[in-house]
Amino acid sequence: MQTRSIGSLEVSVVGIGCNNFGSRLDQTGTDEVVGAALDAGITLFDTADIYGGTKSEEYLGRALGARRNEVAIATKFGMEIDEARGGAAPDYVRQACDDSLRRLRTDRIDLYQLHVPDPAVPIADTLGALHELQAAGKVIEIGCSNFTADQLGEAATAAGGAGAFRSVQNQYSLLWRLPETDGVLAACDADSMALLPYYPLANGLLTGKVRPGQPIPEGTRLALMPADRSSHWLSDAFTTKVGALLSFAEDRGVSMLSIAFSWLLSHGSVSSVIAGASTAEQVRANAAAPLTLADDVIAALDSLTGE
């Protein structure tokens, strides 16, 4: 498994999104996924305090056990857990970190990410608390998620010499290319900031299992999604592109999964492709997916999926 950097961290180019832990997966299922990931050389596990109603962090901590030091744990704070927990005020940042450390059964968080911007709190205040956690050794690197290019610039200005975010986790895939046009990818390139794409498989559309004109496979994320959300992903615009990508992949004897992962990793700022998994088989398929794409293949994919 190849690795890339997030600040001082070296992480596998394929990561595991842990949003299934504590929701679709119990502890036994989590153990199986984590074990398969470790065996496949995956070293980045991305969770959040709200995943699984806070159970994801607990299950991940138990599953890693004595192998914790072999991996980088990324978690997030800031989304509302309940009326008393949420946001990015300094006191809460410190509390949320301690709560996550306890649930994860660890003494440090390798990448601590602000899950969403908090308009009620100056970003300088949040960064100040995060820098305190770094100084205390509780956090190694800091990142953010769902930030615009302007918000990333504001954070960089507010941090000054103390250092701003080392990563940003935003939606990015062959079917969602907004970071290319909204300035986020350019900001990552300019500031040596890692981009961690979420929904890299567009909620299952890029797994190869969903085929235009055929029923959605039972048990998949799209099949379990409320109709108001699935209708967005199953729009004519998306399904037309999925059909074109399937033909492109099949003509070249390459899996749709490999196309989706490899295209993202052709961008130097993408440090790791974080994808959820609910079985050991899915983990192994994700780990084996990355290939080196020729320039003409990348250009063809850009053309097929661009606006």
- Asked if residues 182 and 156 have their Cβ atoms less than 8 Å apart, the reply is no
Separation CA 275–CA 173 (nearest Å): 11
Task: Round to the nearest angstrom and report the end-to-end CA distance of the chain.
Answer: 33
Residues forming the active site: 51
What's the full length of the chain, in residues?
307
Q: Encode the chain in three state secondary structure.
A: CCEEEECCEEEECEEEECCCECCCECHHHHHHHHHHHHHCCCCEEECCCCHHHHHHHHHHHHHHHHHHHHCEEEEEECCCCECCECCCCHHHHHHHHHHHHHHHCCCCEEEEEECCCCCCCCHHHHHHHHHHHHHCCCEEEEEEECCCHHHHHHHHHHHHHHCCCCEEECECECCECHHHHCCHHHHHHHHCCEECCECCCHHHCCCCCCCCCCCCCCCCHHHHCCHHHHHHHCCHHHHHHHHHHHHHHHHCCCCHHHHHHHHHHCCCCECCEEEECCCHHHHHHHHHCCCCCCHHHHHHHHHHHCC
